[in-house]
A and B are shown apart, each in its own frame.
Chain A
Amino acid sequence: MKKTKTLSPPKTLQKSPTGIRGLDEITGGGLPTGRPTLVCGGAGCGKTLLAMEFLVRGATEFGEPGVFMAFEETGEELTENVASLGFDLKALVAGKKLLVDYVYVDRSEFEETGEYDLEGLFIRLGYAIDSIKAKRVVLDTIEGLFAGLPNQAIVRAELRRLFRWLKDKGVTVVMTGERGDGTLTRYGLEEYVSDCVISLDHRVVDQVTTRRIRVVKYRGTTHGTNEYPFLIEKDGISIWPITSVQLQHTASHERIPTGIERLDTMLGGKGFYRGSSILLSGTAGTGKTSVAATFAEAACRRGERCLYFSFQESPSQIMRNVGTIGLNFQQWVNKGRLGLLSVRPFSHGLETHLARKIQSITEFVPQVVIIDPITGLDTTGTPLEIKAALMRLLDWLKLKGITTMLTETMSGSALDRTDAALSSLVDTWIVLRDLETNGERNRGLHVLKSRGMGHSNQVREFVVTETGIRLTDVYIGPSGMLTGSARVQQEGRERAERVTLSEEAERQQLALACKRGALEAQVAALRAEFSSEEAIITRTVSKDKQRGAVLALDEAAMGVSRKGDAIKSNGSRARRDVVTGGN
């Protein structure tokens, strides 16, 4: 019949799961089976509710019927009180899953004389347990006996006997106790319960209350030792033990665009890492919300889900405002991809804020979470508390692989705060800043750090237009980066220069062409001259050749005519002689 978690080592303590969100996590599986657990705390901290949820969940989820022995409220009152949390006690009672026994002890109603014991209580409880075969018992709060019965010595002796008897019965008991002055309970109930003690707390700090739960002791097992905030919501108690988160997340290599093309380029060309945390810092009016909204829109456009927490604006105000930069949030809200949650920082304590956020995130299952701005939490605690809380939140988000963008309103200059509490928490830190030159204020953006990627070191001016955010071209003037109208001027100047340059080139090209033309004409003229000269020379040469031949012929003919000397070898001498003689 025992329905408890089967644990691998044989000797470990058996535990009964409570079914209460988060409680099983911090107790390592539930409350000790077959033993009593003390739940103590001040008035209105949720003891009765926790005990009741333990029974209801046991009956509905784990098949363990339970007996609720109430010393303070009647069955009807209890039924009404827990109905608001969605527990239908009447149905459970009718189905013999639950039995509520209201024990009424009023000192003024009876006289006491002689010895007695509390066997009547044992019999009642035993009868109740047996009649529905209960595995779980709640005594809420058994301290009523101390107030109701005059003889405390008897009550103490009987309580000791009661817990032994309950252990023998093998039922898992939750008893509640009112916090005493400096002690866990007013009547020292903790002395009877040595196995498990859970303390609930309802603290008011700066007019803001936070409910917390802590496992004070749990014999024979490890458990979360911290104080965890818990919420009482419409579906019962939920504890968000995010203090137990560690650095175990796996880093994704996937990159996701920022929604601003040129910003992606600045971040190693691809944008943020999925599951990383991004901090947008900037003074008021530097466009943090616009950048964050653009990122949200980009996520929705990719088909992802985005949850946008705002501490400053209501959902409709956000939608109106982002409309002016060309983002249509309404369509994504309608498609269920975008969740806008606005809450004032003052409405809860820090831990409750955190717990609520985690609850919303768990329900919405987004891939991207935006908190705008985290500085809204400043009022909810000391810087150390806030840092610790944010670290837990960011670790938890990373564990879930959710990309988180936080915005932060800075006072003063960005770079003075390199020690900033947050910088160590975030993977990518983008600083938005005012660039004030020439009597105007412009928006600048630079990536201060981005883990795991080569990022640009350039300060970029960005402009917010009706169609979204645009990073402008970079112009570096003699006095640094040019922004605003100086940049526009520079742009104009450069355009003019470009025009001049291209005209000059054209002109030079033209001149070159002319030159080539002239040269070619010259070449043609020379060639013509040459060819005519060539023709003349050729003709002269051939004429001379002809004349030579004729002369030779003439000489021969002369020789023949003088002496008929036909000897050619003497011919030339003869001719010389002739010539000499001729002279």
Chain B
Amino acid sequence: MKTPPKSRNPKPAAAAPREWQLRLYVAGPTPKSVAALRNLEQICEEYLAGRYHIEVIDLMKQPQLAQGDQILAVPTLVRKLPSPIRKIIGTLSNTERVLVGLDLRPHGPDPSATRKGEPDAR
């Protein structure tokens, strides 16, 4: 599982800006929240080591923040930077899909699609 992302990792990383700002919305310390945060940290360490910042927002404590990022489902991971904003909902248990969702993992064989590659398949 780890080999293919690693081999392509440098490319998008090089194209990406200095720091990744990630925001994880959760609703209280539920098992899902905990799992999501754990998965996220794991992925970040692996692919964005030293270049990421995770902000965890507990909507139970700050409900007014839900509207701003159009949060419906929790947990939701929002990539604030680099733009455009991207969202991944769920516990982030499937690393492959998280990487696609964060644009860290290109989809399709064409390397030129790596920069602006849209996750066109699910």
On A, residues with C-beta under 8 Å from B are 101, 103-105, 109-121, 123-124, 126-127, 145, 148-150
A118 to B67, CA, bound (A): 13
Q: With the chains together, A109 CA to B72 CA distance in Å?
A: 13
B56 to chain A, nearest CB (A): 14
Q: Which residues of B contact A (CB under 8 A)?
A: 25, 27, 32, 35-36, 39, 59-60, 63-64, 66-67, 70-76, 86-94, 97-98, 100-101, 119, 122
Could you jot down 10 A-B contacts, CB within 8 Å?
A109-B86, A110-B76, A110-B89, A111-B87, A111-B101, A113-B90, A114-B35, A114-B93, A117-B73, A118-B73
Indicate if the CB atoms of A127 and B119 lie closer than 8 Å.
no
Known contacts A111-B101, A114-B35, then 18 further A-B pairs from the complex at CB < 8 Å, ordered by chain A residue: A101-B67, A105-B72, A111-B97, A113-B88, A114-B90, A114-B93, A115-B90, A116-B76, A117-B32, A119-B73, A120-B25, A120-B72, A120-B74, A124-B72, A127-B64, A127-B66, A148-B72, A150-B122
Residue of A nearest to B120 (CB): A108
Kindly name the residue among B59, B90, B91 whose own CB sees the greatest number of chain A CB atoms within 10 A.
Answer: B90
A103/B70 contact (C-beta < 8 A), A109-B87, A120-B27 known: yes
B27 near A119: Cβ-Cβ < 8 Å: yes
A101 contact set on B, CB distance < 8 A:
67
Q: When the two chains form their complex, are residues A113 and B98 in contact, meaning their CB atoms are under 8 A apart?
A: yes
Residues of B within 8 A of A149 (CB): 72-73
- Say whether A114 contacts B73, CB under 8 Å: no
Q: What residues of chain A lie closer than 8 Å to B93, measured between beta carbons?
A: 113-115
The answer to whether B86 touches A110, judged by C-beta atoms less than 8 angstroms apart, is: yes
Nearest-CB residue, chain B, relative to A130: B63
A120 CA to B24 CA, complexed, in Å: 12
B92→A113 contact, CB < 8 A: yes
Chain A residue at minimal CB-CB distance from B91: A114
State A116–B35 Cα separation when bound (angstroms): 11
Point out the residues of chain B lying under 8 angstroms from A148, CB to CB: 72
Residue of B nearest to A126 (CB): B63
| B119 A120 Cβ-Cβ under 8 A | no
Neighbour of A110 across the interface among B27, B35, B60, B101, CB < 8 A: B101
- Residues of A within 8 Å of B71, CB to CB, are 120, 124
Known: A104-B70, A113-B98, A126-B63. A120 touches B92 (CB 8 A): no
Q: How far is the CA of A116 from the CA of B93 in the complex (A)?
A: 11
Residue of A111, A115, A123 touching B100 (CB-CB under 8 A): A111
Contacts of B76 in A (CB 8 A): 110, 116, 120
Do residues B72 and A103 form an inter-chain contact, with CB atoms below 8 A?
yes
**Interchain CB contact (< 8 A) of A123 among B60, B86, B88, B97:** B60
Contacts of A127 in B (CB 8 A): 63-64, 66
Q: Which B residues touch A104, using CB under 8 A?
A: 70
B89 touches A124 (CB 8 A): no
- The 10 A-B pairs at the shortest CB distance, nearest first, are namely A111-B101, A114-B91, A114-B90, A114-B93, A110-B87, A127-B63, A119-B27, A120-B71, A113-B97, A113-B94
> Are B60 and A116 neighbours in the complex by a CB distance under 8 Å?
no
Query: How distant is A28 from chain B, measured CB to nearest CB, in Å?
Result: 36
B90 (CB) vs chain A CBs: closest residue: A114
Chain B, residue nearest A127 (CB): B63
A150 to B87 Cα, complex, angstroms = 14
For residue B85, which residue of chain A has the nearest CB? A109
Enumerate chain A residues within 8 angstroms of B75, measured Cβ to Cβ: 116
- Chain B residues with Cβ below 8 Å from A126 are 63
Determine whether the beta carbon of A123 is less than 8 Å from that of B101: no
A119:B97 contact, CB within 8 angstroms: no
Residues of B within 8 A of A111 (CB): 86-89, 97-98, 100-101, 119, 122
Query: Which B residues are in CB contact (< 8 Å) with A109?
Result: 86-87
Question: Quick check: B72 and A112 within 8 Å, CB to CB?
Answer: no
Given contacts A120-B27, A149-B73, contact A112 B88 (CB under 8 A): yes
A88 to B20 alpha-carbon distance, docked (Å): 43
